[in-house]
Structure 1
Amino acid sequence: MSAETCPPLLGGGAEQDPNLARLLRSAAERGPQHPAVLDAGTGRELTWSELDAAVTGQALRLRAAGVQPGDRVAMALPNGVEFCVALFAVLRAGAIAVPLSPASPRLETLRVLEDSGARLLLGNESFDGVAVLAPTVDTEAAGAEVESPGGDLAVLCYTSGTSGPARGAMLSHSALLANVRQCARLRPMPVNAADRVLLALPMYHVYGLGPGLLQVASVGATAVLLPEFDPEEALAAIAEFRVTAVVGVPPMYQAWLKVPAQRLRQSMSTVRLLTSGAAPLGVDVATAVRSATGLDIFEGYGLTETGPVLTTTLASARAKPGSVGRPLPDVQLRLVDADGSSIEEGDTGRVAARGPNLFRGYWPDAVHGPDQDGWFRTGDVGYFDADGDLHLVDRATDLIVVHGFNVFPHEIESVLAELPGVREAAAIGVPDEAQGETIKAVVVADPDAGLTADGVREHCAARLAKFKVPASVVFAASLPHSPTGKVARRPLRGSRPAE
């Protein structure tokens, strides 16, 4: 089945000036005194004109440090004003931004610095072989100009993928701008000029970067920044700064549901729109948030490689818990089998996407990008319902094959989550000579839950086909997660959680 919407891309200045830093300059020209960023962590506030001046000042410092158009500049900074200034300064200087987690292990940071060939690191920690420049926020450069005749490549976003080390997805100015404009054509708009948007997601991740910071800059809205998500601190920031839109992930909403419903509703009284992405949002979570706040959560789907948004329930007739909605304008989706052939209508298949928001391929040789016809196979498995809305089943690479039968981990994890006392669970495949693979469940349980491996298996046996029942169950204190809260199954395959 195919879902396609292909109206023409919005026109405007992007064709003449595709640099993302132009978003910032345009916002400063339209509303120079309008608040651009409110840092809830430090209390610092910058208007769009001040932010634009600070970006120019940092870009001049980058040039003075020897950075040339096309150079890679790494950024290891937490959410905050410094990150916003650094990102747009790198782009204004014509360089390519390489955003990194400031909490990454040192060896992982070194590997990315080496792989990207970064000329300089904007951060507060030194690394051998790479020049370091401390971030600054200096608004004295108002009126100065920086020529930025760089190429179209804007950002190298390193994505962990499903196997092997992280690879740098090559995202161009034009691809990221296309996604900004695609989202702006949705109704209601995810972000409008009057919004104050809570950005508690890491902006070094493409979800916090694109639907977060770039969307805010594109309309000249206001970003309310948190260095990291804490449910109480986030609610306090929402109330204090009168936040109207939240860019969220499922763990944020799960954490907020532990707050008394009356206080949650009161704290979110100014909010008009809740969105979620990066990981599947449980129907129970969406329903509970709706009950507590009166607000629907509009869920979306995308990848680092797609700039990132592909679908959203904002593009559908309504919020539909369990679905990730329909394609954005100018995005085409289809479902294919393992060799890329289209599947029969109504079947489950691998999601393939085409659109102007797709990446160029992986650094440095642009390999494994869209094919010659522009299609990129995402590795996610899903199906379209009768309304044309997409439902995701799992990652194709996480598929478990038992005696030739396909088993999707999410189905098992949903059954495990029904058990009282289960905080979180993951299902993974374990090589087995006789069956190909067997299923192992890794369960995080409340200390006083009294769960046993046999009890967990009995629960599954009453709800799942025999070949889907975990052959083994182990208990762990926690599960590994991606920066946006998604359970990372790959590390579990290489580790042995405590029994």
Structure 2
Amino acid sequence: MTPAAHAVVTLARRGLLTPAAPHRVPAQIGALRRWGYGLGGSLLSAAARSPSRVALADPAGTLTYAEVRDQALRLARSLRQTTDLPAVQAAADGQAGGAAVGGGAGIGPGDRVGVLCRNHRGFVLSAVALSLLGADVVLINTAFSAAQIAAVVRDHGLRLVVHDPEFSVSGTATLSSAGFEALPDPGGPLTPPRRPGPTVVLTSGTTGTPKGARRPNPAGLGPLVSILDRIPVQAGDRLMIAAPLFHTWGYAALQLAFGLRASVVLTPRFAPESLVDTVRTHRCTGVFAVPVMLSRLLDAGAVLPGVRVVAVSGSALPGDLATRFMDTHGDVLYNLYGSTEVSWASVATPAELRRSPATAGRPPRGTRVMILGADGSPVPPGTVGRIFVGNDMLFEGYAGDLGGVESRDGLLATGDLGVLDASGLLTVSGRADDMVVSGGENVFPSAVEDLLATLPGVREVAVVGVPDPTFGQRLAAHVVCHAGASVSADDVREHVRRHGAAFAVPRDVRFLAALPRTATGKVIKRAL
């Protein structure tokens, strides 16, 4: 099947080629042609086709696609007019990234604007409006401290930060997400920018200082087709996005939802019981989350009612989490492996996770995944090597000229080691810089973590390498137990000895109340 035929078949299977009122389809296609396939163009296209469909639901209520369009256009016009507005507080020194703020021209193409909002309509309206203006949108992690936020403002030269009232921002002009209605609407038409502004996503920073990765806008329907090829969400679905919108996965879910003309359900904070209530209230058919949220749901005994798809990404699925989750919820789990730099690499379906709970699945059509050895040559199936990925959404580089990512024949390195089996299933062994060499043996901490995740009483675990005068390095296990569980260091060592290799037994075992994690659930191993 040709790529074009495959795209048509996939879009048809997902309900995107159903008939519509004759005047709607030209308007839908026209919006994409004029505004492109970024967040703003996708929203305008969806509003042209399905204006009365609910686009967004959050604790403040619901908005149709027409209402989101109108509010986003109004916000864009206000920001374009001037930054010297009553609701915009200028920096104390009248500077923003070295440029004057008050009284000057408003936000436009090339201006860098930060968005510091939790999952609610304020984030969505800000991101859409800035997309329509051609601004460079910098997504700021809501878990950052005031000092880290100030560093992002300084390092990225932000001209403005749109933020929730709970956050403190200094060093530039600010606009509260609660103050949109106070902005005057100057009216007038908006015209598409000559160049769509990139979205800058800050990497997780689990191994050091976060970098700003410049994410491109889609050039066509290819990225949408790639994801729909492996994850069976449908046009008009009601999708709960629990993953943080500032993260690559949450933002991608929002783009996907607009492409599907789906109804997006958001809640500012994650809690297992409230997530279940929200899914039930809005009759959500799909949930986009990060793996640690699945663990929290199972720990709380909370079951998502009536969902057909639970799609996760952002970190590895530890141990038997995939099968335990599906034993409770049915075979609805899809696991996407990727990174901020390469977007997606592969997706594991429920059947593949049943077969191999640790698998990262297969690449979607149009995506290339290769396992290369140290010399840059492909390695045979079953051999561990470095993972390289090629697709339509590779990042454009790091903001601030911080260097790039190793590239081979148009493929980018993910920084992970992995293996492809004879059938093409990918398994990620772990970060290349996490591999521990102990007494000449290569040990992947993730494999030991998966073993220990099956030890009764263990809630979560992180394994790292520490210096050893005799063996070069040795393993240290950091274990969090379920409440009331009785697990000893000897239990931990014996479990690995019985089910794994002798050289993989952690000599150091430390028990913690919780593992340090990022806002997206990744363990911050440098903090252990």
TM class, shorter-length: 0.7 to 0.9
Residue 173 of structure 1 and its aligned partner are, at CA, apart by 1.0
CA distance in 1, matches of 2:347, 2:416: 16
CA distance in 2, matches of 1:154, 1:482: 24
Residue 296 of structure 1 and its aligned partner are, at CA, apart by 2.8
Q: Secondary structure at the match of 2:476?
A: strand
Residue 282 of structure 1 and its aligned partner are, at CA, apart by 4.4
Tell me what 1:59 maps to. 76
Equivalent positions of 1:308-387 (< 5 A) are 308-314=343-349, 320=355, 321-365=357-401, 367-369=403-405, 371=407, 373-387=409-423
Deviating more after overlay: 347-356 vs 277-286 = 277-286
Equivalent positions of 1:159-238 (< 5 A) are 159-161=203-205, 163-174=207-218, 178-184=222-228, 186=229, 189-190=232-233, 192-210=234-252, 212-238=253-279
Tell me what 1:38 maps to. 57
Q: Which amino acid in structure 2 is aligned with residue 78 of structure 1? A: R
Deviating more after overlay: 123-132 vs 447-456 = 447-456
Q: Secondary structure at the match of 1:82?
A: helix
Tell me what 2:100 maps to. none
Shift in alpha-carbon separation, 1:366–1:451, aligned structure 2, 3 A: closer
Residue 161 of structure 1 and its aligned partner are, at CA, apart by 4.4
CA distance in 2, matches of 1:302, 1:430: 27
Shift in alpha-carbon separation, 1:419–1:154, aligned structure 2, 3 A: same
CA distance in 1, matches of 2:114, 2:125: 13
Say if 2:158 is the partner of 1:118: yes
Residue 431 of structure 1 and its aligned partner are, at CA, apart by 2.0
Contact 2:308/2:332 (<8 A) preserved = no
Shift in alpha-carbon separation, 1:72–1:416, aligned structure 2, 3 A: same
Q: Pick one of 86, 90, 93 that aligns with 2:126.
A: 86
Shift in alpha-carbon separation, 1:182–1:143, aligned structure 2, 3 A: farther
Tell me what 1:496 maps to. none
CA distance in 2, matches of 1:177, 1:130: 36
Residue 17 of structure 1 and its aligned partner are, at CA, apart by 3.9
Tell me what 1:96 maps to. 136
1:258-301 deviations in whole A, cap 9, x for unaligned? 455xx83xx512x2222222222246333233332333312221
Contact 2:143/2:518 (<8 A) preserved = no
Q: Which structure is higher in RCO with an 8 Å CA cutoff and minimum separation 6?
A: 1
Question: How many correspondences in the alignment?
Answer: 477
Q: Pick one of 22, 36, 40 that aligns with 1:18.
A: 36
Residue 178 of structure 1 and its aligned partner are, at CA, apart by 4.5
Residue 383 of structure 1 and its aligned partner are, at CA, apart by 1.3
Contact 1:355/1:374 (<8 A) preserved = no
CA distance in 2, matches of 1:56, 1:365: 33
Shift in alpha-carbon separation, 1:422–1:292, aligned structure 2, 3 A: closer
CA distance in 2, matches of 1:202, 1:452: 35
CA distance in 2, matches of 1:7, 1:317: 24
CA distance in 2, matches of 1:178, 1:483: 30
CA distance in 1, matches of 2:461, 2:3: 42
Shift in alpha-carbon separation, 1:414–1:373, aligned structure 2, 3 A: closer
Residue 154 of structure 1 and its aligned partner are, at CA, apart by 1.6
Shift in alpha-carbon separation, 1:111–1:352, aligned structure 2, 3 A: same
Equivalent positions of 1:427-446 (< 5 A) are 427-446=463-482
Deviating more after overlay: 77-86 vs 101-110 = 101-110
Contact 1:53/1:141 (<8 A) preserved = no
Shift in alpha-carbon separation, 1:315–1:141, aligned structure 2, 3 A: farther
Deviating more after overlay: 347-356 vs 466-475 = 466-475
Identity in percent: 33
Shift in alpha-carbon separation, 1:122–1:272, aligned structure 2, 3 A: same
Deviating more after overlay: 9-18 vs 50-59 = 9-18
Contact 1:56/1:141 (<8 A) preserved = no
Tell me what 2:25 maps to. none
Shift in alpha-carbon separation, 1:121–1:43, aligned structure 2, 3 A: closer
CA distance in 1, matches of 2:270, 2:359: 25
Unaligned runs of 5+ in 1: 493-499
Tell me what 1:394 maps to. 430
Unaligned runs of 5+ in 2: 9-28, 84-105
CA distance in 2, matches of 1:385, 1:114: 46
Contact 1:19/1:152 (<8 A) preserved = no
CA distance in 2, matches of 1:315, 1:68: 44
1:422-479 deviations in whole A, cap 9, x for unaligned? 2211110112343221111111124643433344323333333232111211121211
Q: Which amino acid in structure 2 is aligned with residue 7 of structure 1? A: P
Deviating more after overlay: 417-426 vs 447-456 = 447-456
Tell me what 2:452 maps to. 416
Q: Secondary structure at the match of 1:393?
A: strand
Tell me what 1:488 maps to. 524
Deviating more after overlay: 15-24 vs 428-437 = 15-24
CA distance in 2, matches of 1:466, 1:245: 42
Q: Secondary structure at the match of 1:324?
A: strand
Contact 1:54/1:141 (<8 A) preserved = no
Q: Pick one of 488, 494, 512 that aligns with 1:458.
A: 494
CA distance in 1, matches of 2:208, 2:110: 27
Contact 1:315/1:325 (<8 A) preserved = no
CA distance in 2, matches of 1:30, 1:319: 39
Contact 1:316/1:389 (<8 A) preserved = no
Tell me what 1:495 maps to. none
Q: Pick one of 305, 311, 322 that aligns with 1:268.
A: 305
| RMSD over aligned Cα atoms | 2.8
Contact 2:386/2:416 (<8 A) preserved = yes
TM-score by length of structure 2 reads 0.83
CA distance in 2, matches of 1:317, 1:469: 29
Q: Pick one of 133, 148, 156 that aligns with 2:200.
A: 156
Deviating more after overlay: 284-293 vs 137-146 = 137-146
Contact 2:35/2:192 (<8 A) preserved = no
CA distance in 2, matches of 1:187, 1:336: 25
